């Protein structure tokens, strides 16, 4: 596995993956409940991720609305089904956990969808930040609600106040 770190205007990002695809994208915000450790077995290789870094930078500058990245997240069958569905949420749009539950064929699975979202190893590219509570509130985000709000604002208005 390879990894790299790079700075964006929002936070440091850590990428992990191999020829099978990107397996982790960590938004190192210092907030939220997600921590991330780089394995001693992984090899630092910035060049391996050049295209993904360029796409992320284009996204943050408002020049990209869809990612073209081979993904290889680890997770359960249910989690992967939820994550695939998340990639269908269009840039700038929001939906609820129940909307995702209905889309995967079980409208009573909103809580399970929320749990799958919290385990999403590739946020941003698998856009779990576009899922909100039924009451319209920006409910939990593993990397902190502040960055979730900034990502939504970026997608809906093309800018942030940062």
Residues recognised as catalytic: 128
User: Is-contact 71 84, C-beta < 8 A?
Assistant: no
3-state secondary structure of 71: strand
Mention every residue, 6+ apart, whose C-beta is less than 8 A from residue 3.
14, 15, 16, 38, 42, 43, 44, 45
Helices 110-118 and 77-86: angle between axes, nearest 10 degrees: 90
Name the DSSP class of 109: -
């Amino acid at each position: 596995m390879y990894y790299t770190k790079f700075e964006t205007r929002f936070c440091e990002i850590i990428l992990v993956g191999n020829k099978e695809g990107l397996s982790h994208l960590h938004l190192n915000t210092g907030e939220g409940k997600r921590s991330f450790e780089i394995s001693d077995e992984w090899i630092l290789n910035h060049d391996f991720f050049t295209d993904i870094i360029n796409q992320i930078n284009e996204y943050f500058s408002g020049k990209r609305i869809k990612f073209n990245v081979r993904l290889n997240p680890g997770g359960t069958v249910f989690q992967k089904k939820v994550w695939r569905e998340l990639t269908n949420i269009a840039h700038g749009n929001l939906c609820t956990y129940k909307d995702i539950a209905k889309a995967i064929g079980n409208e009573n699975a909103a809580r399970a969808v929320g749990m799958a979202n919290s385990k999403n190893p590739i946020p941003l590219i698998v856009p779990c930040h576009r899922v909100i509570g039924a009451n319209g509130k920006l409910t939990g985000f593993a990397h902190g609600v502040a960055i979730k709000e900034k990502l939504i604002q970026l997608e809906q208005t093309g800018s942030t106040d940062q």
